[in-house]
Amino acid sequence: MKDTQALIERVTRVNDTHQHLHLSVDPSLMSMKAGQSVLAKVNETWTPYLRQQWFPVKLTKKALVVERPAAEPYQPGQVVSLLGAVGQPFRFRRSLRSVLLLAYDTEPTPLLMTIPALIENKIGVTLVLCGVAAKYGTAHLPPEVEIIQGDSELNWQNRVTTIGWADQVFCAAAPEVESVLLARALAVFREVRADVQQAYLFGVFRPPLPCGIGACGACLIKVKGSDPQFACAHGPAFDLTQVGGLG
Amino acid sequence: MSVRISRLGKNTLVLNTPVMNAAGTMGYADEYRDLIDFGKLGALVTNPITLAPRDPANGARVVPLDAGVLVHTGLPNPGVRAVLDTNRDKWGKLPASLRLIAHVVLLSSVEDVRRCIAALERVERVDGIELGLSDEISPAEAEWSLRALISKSEKPILARLPFGAGVEMARACEDAGADGLVISAPPRGVARDGLGRLVSGRVYSPTLKPLVLRLVGQIVRQVELPVIGAGGIHTPQDARDFLEAGAAAVQVDSAVWVAPNRLEWIARDLGGLVLTQPAGALADEWFPSMGMTAKMPAQDKESTDKHENDLD
């Protein structure tokens, strides 16, 4: 974890709702993995007070690319303060052939950085956009990614087949109602698969992070058979079958 | 520079620098080791500790506010035994000059709190106890509880007053034998979360500073105890204002989260260390030998020129 400054080199609009910021960052952040994030402060004022959690979507040779809502104003040349890297990389199984990424009522941003590495390793990637997420434009994503749109009840075409094919699933949900939506996702997967095994279905938890370092205790997740875990330091991905309070 | 933050006695707490974090902001030990030089701080105050483990609160725990944040953690902690098992070695590796203050919460029975304090006092590295008084406690209850705890305690006990508690509470703590006062805990507030539900929690914001500063100014004139000011401190000037109001030291709270280097910045400033920043440097691009510039004399032109050449 380092407190560094980054320079916004380019701002590119990728769809109707989102833009990519190409950041020139400290070398320590150029080894970030999918699942990790940075906490950004874009100005010297205290509004907004907390740092924003920025998820990278890809690494180029020179830049860390993060995705932000198009409504937020950014300028090339702007300097931002970054704390990071926050969190742990997603843990993939070794014998992986197909991964299902599920964005539920939220943009798929936290999931997107997995895509280049998965494709490079010839692992099939299916991105399911449910509810509000279905409005997310996907023209900028690699053509190898299978895109499916679903409704807010987690219904989509060939759902049983899609879930059956997946060796691992990562699900991001709207942060405001994260636990409710992730519990619903767990219920749907339990309905479709007779047995949802451990290390199969992961929820990506994104509560507001005051410290991002595992110090303040505001992001603790109850985990069955273990001490509570920090979403910032141990997450963001947690095995949904092991998270307490989801059913 | 040395600053006394507790009554004179066998185990008087003396700090090298009148700056520390507030309870609940920096974990139990070295969580901020990569971001803050602990050697520059006067003390480290741990997250809250209770005798028995406490689970995190249910529901929304953080509500962003205009120029602040509301946090409701539920004081999660693994209990004093687990805290000691996990952190005893880490505490031993902290700089020797850093005083370690364990924050104990007065929420359960006095007997439970006494047992918790007793367990902490057996650890040599723990230099003092900060006792967080609950928001609802009356001065009479505080005095009674503190008397029961302090009579059996070896190490200095600082009483952290609830927000808004005034001179009467401070005197009650002094009469009960508290070794110092922390003024104050963050206030409690209520705000709506993203779903429109009301969430109660502690409010952290730079806007609290004037409120706490007034309280500190009122209380230091009425009690003999050393007072530590805590609330809304985000800049060295904020901290200096508290010292000017009569506080012996300050605690920095949520500024640690949003800008961790601020704590060290404030500590360096109040610790008599001189910051040197070449003209035109970026904010984090301080002069490389900054860490060694203790009580550095004013720079003459020659050394200034040399620094500028170093940057070329």
* Contact criterion met (CB < 8 Å) for A41 and B259: yes
Euclidean distance between CA atoms B257 and A212, whole angstroms = 8
* Identical topology for domains A2-86 and A98-239: no
Q: Distance (Å, rounded) from C-alpha B236 to C-alpha A168?
A: 50
Read off the pLDDT of each residue in B209-227 and give the average, rounded to a whole number. Answer: 95
Predicted local distance difference test score (pLDDT) of residue A94: 86
Pairwise CB contact (< 8 Å): B24 & A216:
yes
pLDDT confidence tier of residue A34, bands split at 50, 70 and 90: very high
Which residues of chain B are at the A interface, by a Cβ-Cβ cutoff of 8 Å? 24-27, 31-32, 34-35, 47, 55-56, 58, 61-69, 71, 73, 75-78, 82, 193-195, 205-206, 234, 254, 256-261, 282-284
Cα–Cα nearest to B256, from A66, A60, A43, A50: A50
Domains of chain B and CATH, by start = 3-273 (3.20.20.70), 275-312 (no CATH)
pLDDT in tens, A160-215: 999 999 999 999 999 988 989 999 999 999 999 888 888 999 999 999 999 999 99
Q: A3 pLDDT exceeds 70?
A: yes
Give B249-270 pLDDT, tens digit per residue.
999 999 999 999 999 999 998 8
> Residue B308 — very low, low, confident or very high, per pLDDT cuts 50/70/90?
very low
The mean pLDDT value of chain A amounts to 94
- For residue B278, the model assigns a pLDDT of 55
Spatial distance between the Cα atoms of A79 and A77, rounded to a whole number of angstroms = 6
Cβ contact (<8 Å) for A208 and B26? no
Phi-psi region of B196 (alpha: psi -120 to 50; beta: other; left: phi over 0): left
**Cα gap B210→A94, rounded to integer Å:** 57
Chain B CB contacts of A211 under 8 Å are 25, 256-257
Across the interface, which of B58, B64, B194 has its CB nearest the CB of A50?
Answer: B64
Nearest residue to B188 via CA among B164, B218, B207, B155: B164
Taking contacts as CB-CB distances below 8 angstroms, the residues of chain A near B77 are: 217
- Report chain A's C-alpha Rg in angstroms: 17
For residue A128, give the amino acid letter. Answer: V
Give B44→chain A minimum CA distance, Å.
13
Q: Given this model, what pLDDT does residue B277 score?
A: 54
Using CB atoms, which residue from A41, A207, A217 is nearest to B258? Answer: A41
CA distance B111 to B118: 10
Q: What is the mean pLDDT of chain B?
A: 87
Q: Residue B288 — very low, low, confident or very high, per pLDDT cuts 50/70/90?
A: very low
Architecture per CATH, domain A98-239, reads as 3-Layer(aba) Sandwich (3.40)
Minimum-distance CB partner of A216 among B67, B206, B257: B257
The pTM of this model reads: 0.89
Residues of chain B contacting A79 with CB distance shorter than 8 Å: 282
Query: Would you kindly state where each structural domain of chain A is located, as residue ranges?
Result: 2-86, 98-239
Q: How confident is the model at residue B284 (pLDDT cuts 50, 70, 90)?
A: low
Q: What is the pLDDT of residue A155?
A: 93
What pLDDT shows up at residue B107?
82
Calpha distance B162→B177 (Å, rounded): 18
Contact B284 A245 (CB under 8 A): no
Report the b/e string of A136-156 with b at 16+ CB within 10 A: beeeebeeebebbbbeeebeb
Q: Could you tell me the two tokens for B53?
A: 């483990």
- Residue B194: predicted pLDDT: 82
User: In this structure, what token pair is assigned to residue A179?
Assistant: 């636990």
pLDDT over 70 percentage in chain B: 87
Per CATH, the number for A2-86 is 2.40.30.10
Number of A/B CB contacts below 8 angstroms equals 109
pLDDT computed for residue B159 by the predictor: 96
